[in-house]
Amino acid sequence: TKKIILDTDPGIDDAMAILFAEAHPDIELVALTTVFGNATIENGTRNALYLKERFKITADIAQGASQPLVRSPVGPTEVVHGLTGLGDFHVPDDFVGHPDPRPAYQYIIDTVKAHPHEITLVAVGPLTNLALALQAAPEIASLVAQVVIMGGAFGENDHRGNVTPYAEANIHDDPHAADIVFCAPWPVTIIGLDVTEESFFSAYYLDQLRHDAADMGEFIFTISRYYLRFYSQKVGLEGCHVHDPSAIAYVIDPELFITRKGAVRVVCEGPASGMTMQKLDTKQYQTDEWSSMPAQEVGISVDSAQLLDLYQKTL
């Protein structure tokens, strides 16, 4: 089994990813660390704590960053994920959960050091907590097993973003943090829109999941109503892309994906802020901004039929 810390901004597809990780026997979910993004940090953490209680998840919950490192906050994406992050579903007012007392970045540092070379960090929100952990303890870079990110877009066909023409939401929310994470000397695999938009949960698929997957299926059905309305009205699709669960699928079965290697950087300012770029050759240029960067893996495609099957069977 792989021990994972799942860094997340719950979030409808985040919840879909959390339940996928919890349900799969090859994954030991050590913790959910939360970050601002789809919802405020308070709502995101409350959503994580609620999932822990409802689905008897043993993972710790540690609350993380409430805002990006440098840029001004973008704010929650209510139009996609609803007022508190889980669509029409709201955690009951009287629910009280108990997060770990440490901030997420400190939890990550402590846990990576306690289990050298065993922890896979999976991040499916803005990368602020991972960047803060690297800044406070750069030595963790050589102590993690692997880092898997849902974020970015490397578009062959000029598809580079979902919040701006050139930026995907997680990277756009904190481009400086993403650049720190991609430039660090640790093994990163980035599963961006090129891959996550190859798979769809159709309305029919979610109906079936409700039927087949007990309370997890019921919950995913409930929270996905709002998400499907957004996709239908704003994207023109009768289903939703499979963003965050694709990162979990990569951890379970990397063979489903095709990746390519090369240095990855992020545009941090200006109209293309949040844009991700990968350089494939190793040529030396006149400045070392690129040539000294570690080569990271970027997902370029996935066997989506197998991915959908894996998700359904796991749940």
Residue positions annotated with a catalytic role = 243
User: Can residue 174 be called a binding residue for Ca ion (CB under 5 A)?
Assistant: no
- Alpha-helical regions (H) of the chain: 12-23, 41-54, 78-81, 104-114, 128-136, 169-173, 175-183, 193-196, 203-212, 214-230, 244-252, 288-291, 304-314
Q: Which residue from 64, 125, 245, 274 is in contact with Ca ion, where contact means CB under 5 A?
A: 125
User: Can residue 151 be called a binding residue for Ca ion (CB under 5 A)?
Assistant: no
Contacts of 72 by beta carbon, 8 Å cutoff, 6+ apart: none
User: Can residue 32 be called a binding residue for ligand BDR (CB under 6 A)?
Assistant: no
Contact assessment for residue 196 and residue 241, using Cβ atoms and an 8 Å cutoff = yes
Radius of gyration of the chain (CA): 18
Which among 234, 145, 243, 230 has a CA at the least distance from the CA of 193? 243
CB atoms within 10 A of CB 23: 17
The mark string for 155-184 relative to ligand BDR (x by CB under 6 A, - otherwise) is: -------x-----xxx--------------
Q: Which stretch binds Ca ion (CB under 5 A): 192-200, 236-244, 247-255, 292-300?
A: 236-244
Cβ proximity to ligand BDR, 9 vs 60, nearer residue: 9
Q: Which stretch binds ligand BDR (CB under 6 A): 8-16, 84-92, 178-186, 297-305?
A: 8-16
The mark string for 34-73 relative to ligand BDR (x by CB under 6 A, - otherwise) is: ----x-----------------------------------
User: Can residue 297 be called a binding residue for ligand BDR (CB under 6 A)?
Assistant: no
What does the DSSP assignment read for 249-310?
HHHH-GGGEEEEEEEEEE--SSTTTT-EEEE-S----SSHHHHTSPPEEEEEEE-HHHHHHH
Amino acid at 159: H
Q: Quick one: what does residue 77 bind among ligand BDR, Ca ion, none, with the CB cut-off 5 to 8 Å set by partner type?
A: ligand BDR
Q: Which residues bind ligand BDR (CB under 6 A)?
A: 11, 13-14, 38, 77, 80, 124-125, 150, 162, 168-170, 243-244
Q: Which residues bind Ca ion (CB under 5 A)?
A: 9, 11, 14, 124-125, 244
